[in-house]
Amino acid sequence: MSATRYDIAAMNDQIAPPDIVKTAFSIGDVVRHRIFDFRGVVFDIDPVFANSEEWYQSIPEPIRPTKEQPFYHLFAENAESSYIAYVSQQNLLADHQQGPINHPGIDAVFEGWNGDQYQLKRLMRQ
């Protein structure tokens, strides 16, 4: 299940069950991975893990995150390529100081970079 920025904001304003962690990032935020060398911009948020069990088990156990936390869909990039990443909250850090991301998917979802985060296109807001 995916949630928009507005769904997450509404959820955070309510008292969340103990197994739901509040989101640390919003749609449009630029982040970087704590362990691996890549950055990205958040374009969707799952309040808890919502990918396949096969994908989850493919993560080496010593670094496998818990499922009971937000997971972020990112337009990601590293020095070699651009791709889509799915990353747990515990593995992300804010990174807007490094500037914008050069992912080809950004223009489909965002209007532009305001120096702090990407602005969602009006057509994407509801």
The whole-number pLDDT of residue 20 equals: 60
Name the domain count of the chain.
1
pLDDT tens digit at each of 126 positions of the chain: 444 444 444 444 444 445 567 899 999 999 999 999 999 999 999 999 999 999 999 999 999 999 999 999 999 999 999 999 999 999 999 998 899 999 999 999 999 999 999 999 987 666
- Max Cα-Cα span within the chain: 42
Q: What is the DSSP string of 60-76?
A: -GGGPPPSSS-EEEEEE
- In whole angstroms, give the CA distance from residue 69 to residue 80: 29
> What is the spatial order of strands in the sheet that 71-77 belongs to?
82-88, 71-77, 39-46, 30-33, 92-94
CATH number reported for the structural domain that contains residue 58 in this entry: 2.30.30.390
- In whole angstroms, give the CA distance from residue 104 to residue 121: 15
What residue spans of 1-105 are helical by DSSP H?
Answer: 5-13, 53-57
Range of the domain at 35: 5-124
